[in-house]
Copies of this chain bind each other. A is one copy, B any other.
Amino acid sequence: MTKEIMNELGQTEKEFLNAYNTEKYNATKFSVTSDCLIFTVENADGKEESIDLDDKRLKIALIQRANHPHIDKWALPGGFVNKGRETSLEAAKRELGEETEISGIYLEQLYTLDDIERDQRDHIISVSYMSLVDKIEKELRAGSDAKKAEWFEVERKVTQINKSIIENGFIREKFIDIVLIKEDIKIISKIKEVTAVKNRARRTKLELVNRGGLAFDHAIVINLALDRIKNKVEYTDIMFNLLPEYFTIAEAYKVYQLTTNKNDTVQNFRKKFKNVRKMIIETDKTTKKYSPRPAKLYKLNIHWDDHEG
């Protein structure tokens, strides 16, 4: 074991740890928050009634901040991580439990934001998690630090692309609007994606241009989440976290469209996900919700990627 090895001060590991004073480095220590990007798909009006799939929207949960900074602005639900007592993932789960009624939903780490000026109080780090839930388990509650909690339609619009050629490369600026809508509230947060390519080096940076009604740098991480969802929908089964256990092909295709913004046909979608990838399987249930002819209800085939080992 390493126990008997001495460091340059002649300390054993035990002596070193006893002498290690966690308070000593306080001026250099960070507060860490865990922020949740909770996505769902539901009707634009949030009600169950509509039988028109065109009413479906991709939505994200936001809370209205009850305190400074960015008081009254909308923000991702989240909170400080309790040092020594939980991980940021556990904090995210705790926050999810506080904001919503959930259990066993999809959750993955997304990105860590740590710009020096991102929070006016201090240099505070945010570890963000992305979560996908279906409508059964999505009652939102405002936590103690929030005035309200609401589902916002989320959409991304590229408003401008500038490309300038430089020696052995180019610089491309992509201006993106993150648009968030809940009834009469419309938030537009503007960000810029700068890709600089020179020789073999390619570097991409996301900058906040105008945060609009959205707190902190949350638009940046929403943009990252939309990218990641788009990618993962193509080669994993995450989209089925946005659907109920039993769903029609048309419903699944709508979620596919909302997350990828692709415009294929429902027939080809059926072939790809059912026949080729065998990602969904028929059940003996049907629904007449959308048409006179009953539509089969399908469910996720959890063994679809068994060949992966």
| Residues of chain A having any CB pair with chain B under 8 Å | 2, 5, 7-8, 11-13, 16-17, 20, 22-23, 25-32, 66-73, 80-89, 104-107, 109, 111-112, 114-116, 120-123, 125, 127, 158, 161, 168-170, 174, 197-203, 237, 240-241, 243, 245, 299-300, 302-303, 309
- The answer to whether A13 and B71 touch across the interface, beta carbons within 8 angstroms, is yes
Q: Which residues of B contact A11 (CB under 8 A)?
A: 68
| Known interface pairs A158-B309, A241-B200, A302-B202; A68-B7 also in contact (CB < 8 Å) | yes
- The answer to whether B8 and A80 touch across the interface, beta carbons within 8 angstroms, is no
The one of B5, B8, B123, B203 that contacts A83, using a Cβ cutoff of 8 Å: B123
Identify 17 new A-B residue pairs, CB closer than 8 A, beyond the known A23-B26, A88-B114.
A2-B68, A2-B71, A7-B68, A17-B121, A26-B29, A28-B82, A32-B114, A87-B114, A88-B112, A88-B125, A104-B201, A105-B201, A109-B111, A199-B245, A199-B302, A201-B241, A202-B302
| Known interface pairs A27-B83, A116-B84; A197-B71 also in contact (CB < 8 Å) | no
For the complex, give the distance between the alpha carbons of A169 and B29 in Å: 43
- Give the number of times this chain occurs in the complex, counting copies: 2
The one of B7, B13, B106 that contacts A201, using a Cβ cutoff of 8 Å: B106
Report the minimal beta-carbon distance from A29 to chain B, rounded to whole angstroms: 4
List 5 contacting pairs A-B, 8 Å CB cutoff, sorted by A.
Answer: A2-B68, A2-B71, A16-B69, A30-B31, A86-B116
- The answer to whether A66 and B31 touch across the interface, beta carbons within 8 angstroms, is no
Q: Which residues of B contact A105 (CB under 8 A)?
A: 201
Q: Which residues of B contact A25 (CB under 8 A)?
A: 31
| Known interface pairs A16-B67, A88-B114; A30-B32 also in contact (CB < 8 Å) | yes
Q: Which residues of B contact A27 (CB under 8 A)?
A: 83
- The answer to whether A122 and B309 touch across the interface, beta carbons within 8 angstroms, is no
For the complex, give the distance between the alpha carbons of A303 and B198 in Å: 11
For the complex, give the distance between the alpha carbons of A174 and B308 in Å: 12
- The answer to whether B200 and A29 touch across the interface, beta carbons within 8 angstroms, is no
Closest-by-CB residue of B relative to A104 is: B201
- The answer to whether A240 and B83 touch across the interface, beta carbons within 8 angstroms, is no
Q: Which residues of B contact A302 (CB under 8 A)?
A: 168-170, 197, 199-200, 202
